[in-house]
Amino acid sequence: MKVRGANILYYPFEDASGMTTTRSLNGIPFLGPWANRVADGAIMANGKKWPLNEGSGTLRLDANGLAIHGMLWASPLWKVFEKGHDVDSAWVTSRLEFWKHPDLMTNWPFAHRYEMTHRLTKGVLEVSTAVTNLSADPMPVAVGFHPYFNLPGIARDESVAHIPVRSHVETDSRLVATGELKPVDFADVMPLKDHRFDDGFTDLMPGPDGRTIFYVEGGGKKIEVTYGPKYKVAVIFAPPGQNYICFEPMAAVTNGINLFADGKYPGLQWISTGETWSESFWVAASGI
């Protein structure tokens, strides 16, 4: 995403062709049908348990052997459904019909469809996602995004971050949520030279419009990421030795589907049969 010629997303390729041959953290990956990790090798929903099928070739496993970030982070199955422009904006809508692909359905037993629109309006990027449940059972919502932001020409340690959250999502040694929450122990604006993150947060602090604004700022430059109200969880990823920060919009905490089944996470969102869940987040830059 270039602003006056400078990319505000971490993107280590010369052009898009590099993404087809090299796996690298970059851009704004979509994480679905679940974001982050699923524990215990299974999905539990509607009183049933479905073991994950590692032989399907669709799972990505972390260092602990846990399925992470769903099955669509590098999927070639998206099809452009619509594109257009008007005097203020330009947009493209892509569709993925999940239910048509048995190798995907073997690890997520809910027929459904995604429609995702990227719309640029007067310098603000809106990423809107609609998930339609085509199955006979209610479907849990655990999607998310993993954007990588960097302030052009500014070292991350020379910037501050605004993280308007009240509760930290406690995890075990595998970074799987336990169901416990603790109050955050930092100010909502903090220097990044003193903080490194790989943490989930909830109880976001929205404005009057129900949206919550995160930002990174330094050297007079600023990137804002605004969550719509159905993105109830924020994962912040700012590891040592890297110049990016990730404000990750999430519909649920890590392993939220299974935590709900265990009675430890009442906040899980669901889609009734034939219904659609939809939400947006927005990215804007200033001073670039």
Write out pLDDT tens, residues 94-126: 999 999 999 999 999 999 999 999 999 999 999
CATH value at residue 93: 2.70.98.10
Task: Give residue 127's Cα distance to chain centre.
Answer: 11
Q: What are the tokens at 94?
A: 């892509």
pLDDT recorded at residue 50? 94
Whether pTM > 0.85 for this model: the answer is yes
d(Cα 37, Cα 284) in Å, to the nearest integer? 29
Tens of pLDDT, residues 138-180? 999 999 999 999 999 999 899 999 999 999 999 999 999 999 9
pLDDT recorded at residue 116? 98
pLDDT recorded at residue 125? 98
Cβ 136 vs Cβ 273: under 8 Å: yes
Cα separation values, 163 from 65, 112, 158, Å: 30, 33, 17
- Within the chain, which residues score under 70 in pLDDT? 20-24
Q: What are the tokens at 128?
A: 């809107």
d(Cα 233, Cα 279) in Å, to the nearest integer? 13
Residues constituting the chain? 288
d(Cα 60, Cα 10) in Å, to the nearest integer? 22
Cβ 58 vs Cβ 107: under 8 Å: yes
Query: What total number of domains does the chain contain?
Result: 1
**Mean pLDDT of the residues in the chain:** 94
Domain that holds residue 106: 2-286
d(Cα 215, Cα 224) in Å, to the nearest integer? 4
Q: What are phi and psi of 9, to 5 degrees?
A: -105, 145
pLDDT recorded at residue 59? 92
pLDDT recorded at residue 21? 65
